[in-house]
């Protein structure tokens, strides 16, 4: 005895794109500026770092540079 089971195929739907992950904001309020250290033999200018330096013009995030 053979039983034949027929099922209807599910309709194909377009795959839903994954939601784009939003970067979390930098919690800058958690970090206090450092207190300057007085050194009499300091040979470089007594400047405070106010922003990140621009070291390279290339984007090294992919690691292929």
If you write DSSP's letter for every residue of 1-65 in order, what string do you get?
Answer: -------PPPPP-PPPPPPPPPPPPP-GGG-PPPPPP--TT--S--PPP-S-----SS--TTS--
Average pLDDT, the chain: 75
**Most confident residue range from 1-5, 18-22, 55-59:** 18-22
Give the pLDDT score at 61: 66
Instruction: Quote the pLDDT of residue 5.
Output: 74
pTM of the model as a whole: 0.21
């Amino acid at each position: 005895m053979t039983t034949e089971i027929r099922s209807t195929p599910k309709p194909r739907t377009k795959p839903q794109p994954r939601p784009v992950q939003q970067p979390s904001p930098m919690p800058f309020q958690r970090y206090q500026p450092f207190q300057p250290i007085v050194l009499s033999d300091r040979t470089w200018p007594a400047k405070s770092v106010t922003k990140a330096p621009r070291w390279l013009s290339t984007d090294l995030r992919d690691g292929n540079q």
